[in-house]
Amino acid sequence: MGATRRHFLEMAGAVALASAAAGTAISQTRTGGSPVVKPPRLKPGDTVGLIDPASATFESVKIEVAVEVIEALGLKARPAPHLADRYGYLAGKDEDRAHDVNQLFADPTVNAVMALRGGWGCARLLPQLDFATIAKNPKILIGYSDLTALLLPVHARTGLITFHGPMAGSTWNSFNLDCFKRVLFGAEAVTFENVHEIKDTLVQTENRIQTITPGVARGRLLGGNLTVLAGIVGTGYLPDFSGAILFIEEVEENIYRVDRLLTQLALAGILGRLRGVVFGNCTKCLPGEGYGALTLEEVLRDHIKPLNVPAWSGAMIGHIDRQFTIPEGLDVEIDASKGTITMLEPAVA
């Protein structure tokens, strides 16, 4: 028996035992067949562990606001021991940031783990994360941007559904709050769809979608920040993308770099295994210097259109004020003409 196969069986056994004890739901994905673990839903009064696993937070007031956000959600905040640490541009030494994640998952009084912010640094923690402990103590893990390097590996190694969504330091407007509560408190099977609003512009000009390839598809929803995802390709920390629905977003990358990152996913064999693609927002993605450039629309057409799978761009995912709370690893159905992502079941137990 190979080491990878043995590791999977050991982890699956740990997940099953822990989930049975905690009342956590285990199901089989319709697209992958690997165990999927749903964390318990949030309830008023639950405790949320607050972590800073990537870049440092330099102003203490931002930590104060993050704690108040959690409390305003009707929850209790548990700041991680090293939350306010700083090591250069990182929020403390790698071993300390990893310890915070491991400790909060091991603590039975903590019901969820939420990031304060992203930046860079989550991938540095992966060798020091205790995936066995995480598997035995399934709970909500949420964040976005650099948190892609935690959300996908945790799902890959434990089967736990993780969540790409607002962080404690994000903008908590009514849209974000409603989506967050419906998915994580209400245990709803939500249909994600861009808001339809016409301001003083005669027709809708914001939050529009563009269909790349029409059609409907079902698959396991996986993805996150494009740069971060591409950065851990080949490391053994990514889930299998066969039959998946890939969602990606980006921020402050020149368009040629987006082209390069998508080329990396194509050459790594990820794009060719997908059943669908949802491109979110590419915030502040500019052409860069030079005499000519492809547009983002052209880059997506070059890479996504030849896949011949349902795909669209413009979903409310990414570095934007209003964003969905997306379940990583859950089966969904997408409609590329309508621009919808429909959860086929709740993501929490």
* pLDDT per residue as tens digits for the range 323-345: 999 999 999 999 999 999 999 99
- Cα separations in angstroms, 145 against 61, 96, 287, 302, 326: 22, 21, 21, 24, 13
Q: Which two tokens stand for residue 90?
A: 């990182």
pTM for this one?
A: 0.91
What are the structural domains, with CATH classification, of the chain?
47-184 (3.40.50.10740), 191-343 (3.50.30.60)
Sign of CA dihedral 274, 225, 102, 99: positive
Mean pLDDT of the 222-245 span: 98
Contact 141, 51 (CB under 8 A): no
Mean pLDDT of the 175-194 span: 98
3-state secondary structure of 266: helix
Contact 266, 231 (CB under 8 A): no
Considering only 18-22, 121-125, 190-194, 309-313, which range has the smallest mean pLDDT? 18-22
Share of the chain above pLDDT 70, in %: 90
pLDDT averaged over the chain? 92
Q: CA nearest 275: which of 222, 337, 343?
A: 222
Residue 278 pLDDT > 90: yes
Mean pLDDT of the 214-232 span: 98
pLDDT of residue 35: 81
pLDDT of residue 16: 46
Residue 176 pLDDT > 70: yes
Residues 6+ apart with CB under 8 A from 282: 249, 250, 251, 253, 258, 296, 318
Contact 176, 331 (CB under 8 A): no
pLDDT of residue 200: 86
Residue 164 pLDDT > 60: yes
pLDDT of residue 338: 98
Rounded to whole angstroms, how far apart are CA atoms 30 and 219?
8
Residue 88 pLDDT > 50: yes
Residue 31 pLDDT > 70: no
**Model confidence band, residue 26 (pLDDT cutoffs 50, 70, 90):** low
Residues taking part in catalysis: 145, 249, 319
Mean pLDDT of the 288-304 span: 91
pLDDT of residue 25: 60
Q: Which two tokens stand for residue 186?
A: 């209400």
**Model confidence band, residue 24 (pLDDT cutoffs 50, 70, 90):** low
